[in-house]
A and B are shown apart, each in its own frame.
Chain A
Amino acid sequence: MKILAICGSGLGSSFMVEMNINDILKAENIENIEVEHSDLSSATPGIADLYVVAKDLEDSCTNLGDMIVLNNIVDTDELKTKLLSYLKEKDIS
């Protein structure tokens, strides 16, 4: 499966999220998940299975597909809870 972290410019915060997702996956020993980051305009439906965005972009991303919305980008706990519960729901972890 593939996760795409998205932010307005595809330069800063999305990369931070990508890193944090990778860290969490590694800590949980979850393999075979590809994580990438991009800007909003490059994100299209179908290029990833799960999209992770910050709250301010939520409205622009509604039709992409499965989505995790973060209130605080640098809060790894929030990301971890939401990501793991998503993966559990999909029976991946």
Chain B
Amino acid sequence: MLEERPSYLLEQIVFNQSLTIQQLCEKTNLTRRQIEYDLNKINAWLKENELPSIHYSGVKQVNPPSEIKHFIINTRFKLPNSTYFSYDVRDFMTYLFLFTRQEFISSQHLNDFFVVSRNTSINIIKKTNKYTEKQLVYVNYTRNKGYHLKGTEEDKRTLALQCITNLLQKKSGNMAIRALLNYWNYPSNIVFSDVTPENIIDNLKHTYKLSFVEGRLKDFKVFLSFYFLRISKGKFISYHSTSKQQLLENKMYAPAKDILDHVIFTIPNDEIAYVITHLLGLSLGDSPTKDDFLFNLCEKMFYDFEQRTCIYLKNREQNLLNLYQHLKPAYYRIMYRIPIINVLLDQIKHEHSELFTIIREIVLPIEDILNTKFPEDEIGYLTIYFGSLLENPKQELNKLEAIIVCPNGISSSLMLKHQLASLFGNFNFEKMISVEDFNTIPIDSYDIIFSTVFLETDQPLFIVNPLMTAIEKSLLEQEIYSRFFRTKPRKPFIQTLLKEIKQYAVIHDEQGLKKKLHALLSNDNGKADRGSHPVLDELITETMIEIKPAIDDWEAAIHCVAEPLIAEQIIETRYVDAIISKVKNYGPYIIIGPGIAIPHARPEDGVNKIGMSILKLDQPIHILNNGKEPVHVFICIAAIDNVTHLKAMAQLTRLLNVEENQRILKNVTSKHEILALIKKYSHTEG
């Protein structure tokens, strides 16, 4: 009997012709000494089987006699007992052995199969059970049935897939699988003759023009054989009739039926539905339709990704499509609990931990939809996907090429370079050139130009002073960030300015100055792009809604409506105080219509994040206790700047413009009624 390592070596020698010892070392990760040692064992085994030995000393390449190959193909793999399997594959094998059992199984079967003692067999079973019970499948023994599996059919199959995926990661995995299938004489009496899983899949590719996720295809092909063995014993899955119907209406019906037509026995419709779930998790998403919610999810993921990384991704459409192709099968895999193993997971988590964390956050909406956790292995794959977007040199995501043009000598460009580099870490400031040279360099070799004089160019040009003042710097920063990164520069910036100013001047009205600076620096024309801003129902979620019978006074009402925003640290308490004092100073400006008020103050009054919340009072209250205008509905608005909230605001306006909606809002009795109304307006254009 040949052990695992020499078996593996023999396989490599036989199926790769003419390898040198050096090449064998690389292929097998063994040392020359180990290879020679194993070859000795192999030759001893060959002699036992009356075969010629393999020459390896003094030859350039190892060329096994052809008889060995024939022997291996014809006999050896039909004699599974001739291979010794190590501990790390036995659990998986035992599970699959029981999963496909065609007869009563006693420990004697395992003794024979693994060529081990009875005690070892029993230990193997115990260990297998330890592994499977985590997935709610138990290895059970009764006098009647022998060793068998206990659990739901779905759990058992999911576990079988896991075992296969795990086995295929091991060196001896292929041998193990062959050994198992041969033990049950697969495929005789199961499928029509000469059909291999390869045929089946190739056939699907051609007939139905399906493209498959390459990484999963191998596992699936192997799984098919085990699956056929399983259902040959009438071990069928059963679905709830509605979900079955839904699955059977899927366009994967025909391919799934094709697969099962290869089986010689009859099977119920539920199994077609089951194969459909696999095909969904296996085939790449084709071109999405416009209202495909998965495609919308992809767009949202892209947007969230850009937001969190402050990186603007190029080639958006192509990349979106790629993401969709990846995400669609992943979505179904998670939905139908089809496992996927990411061998690189530990490495990814270690080397790209930030990216991994970001991806974990941006898949949260999908978790909400599926109501289950996104497996780390899948997150790992998405991390690779997004990581590849960042590493693709064509994207030039992080570092934009900037050039500095200067008419009068190098010293002012140097000065500029120093200042600009400290402002914009995202740019490469390699080139500094004179005006004359400017026209000689190709236009696509840079993304942005900083110059002290005006130049004729199609690329973005920023005219700057060699020595910039703090205000100039901040304006430039604002402009560049909004133009290239679609985000705001870091916030504390007005505070810094104020501090600087205080060193040199006496400030009479700090709040006033702050406000003016803010207006000056926030580039505010109210017309900025409203496309990528949060919509109403992203802001007003269930936790942001409160319904109360009555409240003591109007100030308490404003505190009450702001409460959820404070709890989420969207606003600070001083924001509420600002609203109240503004109302006292300017009058009830927050009342925008009969019974409806939108309490809000300015971003600089203590807003951390954009947000909105609603309070509905059954008993209306008078603002400033003036006896006029009783208010039923308070909608607290927290804006971070002059534009980000406008999309949601526009939707709110549309909602409030309809008198019927005002009436509904004043009379609602549950949060869900409010949410439904908000949802209805969250997709209207602003």
CA distance A18 to B526 in the complex (A): 11
Which of the residues A11, A19, A56 comes within 8 Å of B650, measured between beta carbons? Answer: A19
CA distance A41 to B586 in the complex (A): 12
CA distance A37 to B25 in the complex (A): 75
Is A51 interfacial (CB-CB < 8 Å)? no
B656–A7 CB distance below 8 A: no
Which of B196-204, B297-305, B420-428, B590-598 contacts the other chain? B590-598
A-side contacts of B589, CB under 8 Å: 7-8, 13, 54, 56-57
A-side contacts of B602, CB under 8 Å: 9, 11
A-side contacts of B191, CB under 8 Å: none
A67 to B: closest C-beta gap in Å: 16
CA distance A42 to B527 in the complex (A): 16
Is A31 interfacial (CB-CB < 8 Å)? no
Is B600 interfacial (CB-CB < 8 Å)? yes
A74–B656 CB distance below 8 A: yes
Most buried by A among B525, B598, B601, B645: B598
Is B152 interfacial (CB-CB < 8 Å)? no
CA distance A73 to B657 in the complex (A): 9
B-side contacts of A19, CB under 8 Å: 650, 653, 686
B649–A15 CB distance below 8 A: yes
Q: Report if A20-B646 is in contact (Cβ < 8 Å); known contacts: A36-B526, A56-B588, A74-B662.
A: no
The contact size tier of chain A is: 20 to 34
Chain B, 553-591, contact with A by CB distance < 8 Å: what is the 0/1 string?
000000000000000000000000000001000111101
Tally of A-B Cβ pairs under 8 angstroms: 74
CA distance A10 to B614 in the complex (A): 20
B-side contacts of A76, CB under 8 Å: 657
Is A72 interfacial (CB-CB < 8 Å)? yes
A74–B600 CB distance below 8 A: no
CA distance A64 to B1 in the complex (A): 101
A-side contacts of B594, CB under 8 Å: 72
Q: Report if A12-B600 is in contact (Cβ < 8 Å); known contacts: A54-B589, A75-B593.
A: yes
A8–B598 CB distance below 8 A: no
A-side contacts of B646, CB under 8 Å: 15
A11–B639 CB distance below 8 A: yes
Task: Name 19 extra pairs, CB < 8 A, besides A10-B642, A12-B592.
Answer: A8-B586, A11-B602, A11-B637, A12-B637, A12-B649, A15-B649, A16-B592, A16-B652, A16-B656, A20-B657, A36-B525, A42-B519, A54-B589, A54-B592, A56-B591, A72-B592, A73-B593, A74-B592, A74-B593
CA distance A8 to B588 in the complex (A): 10
CA distance A16 to B596 in the complex (A): 14
Residues of A within 8 A of B (CB): 7-13, 15-16, 18-20, 36-38, 41-42, 54, 56-57, 60, 72-76
19 chain-A/chain-B pairs, Cβ below 8 angstroms: A8-B586, A8-B589, A9-B582, A9-B602, A12-B600, A12-B637, A12-B639, A12-B649, A13-B592, A13-B598, A16-B653, A20-B653, A20-B657, A54-B592, A56-B589, A56-B591, A57-B587, A73-B593, A74-B653
B586–A56 CB distance below 8 A: yes
CA distance A16 to B600 in the complex (A): 14
CA distance A7 to B525 in the complex (A): 15
CB-nearest residue of chain B to A76: B657
Question: Helix, strand, loop or mixed for chain B's interface?
Answer: mixed
A-side contacts of B601, CB under 8 Å: 9
CA distance A11 to B601 in the complex (A): 8
B321 to A: closest C-beta gap in Å: 34
CA distance A15 to B650 in the complex (A): 8
A38–B598 CB distance below 8 A: no
A-side contacts of B593, CB under 8 Å: 72-75
B-side contacts of A57, CB under 8 Å: 586-587, 589
CA distance A2 to B371 in the complex (A): 51
CB-nearest residue of chain A to B594: A72
B-side contacts of A37, CB under 8 Å: 526
B526–A38 CB distance below 8 A: yes
CB-nearest residue of chain A to B656: A74
Q: Report if A11-B600 is in contact (Cβ < 8 Å); known contacts: A20-B653, A56-B587, A76-B657.
A: yes
Most buried by B among A16, A72, A76: A16
A83 to B: closest C-beta gap in Å: 15
Most buried by A among B526, B527, B637, B656: B526
Most buried by A among B582, B586, B596: B586
Which of the residues A9, A42, A72, A75 comes within 8 Å of B600, measured between beta carbons? Answer: A9
CA distance A36 to B515 in the complex (A): 20
Chain B, 497-529, contact with A by CB distance < 8 Å: what is the 0/1 string?
000000000000000000100010000011100
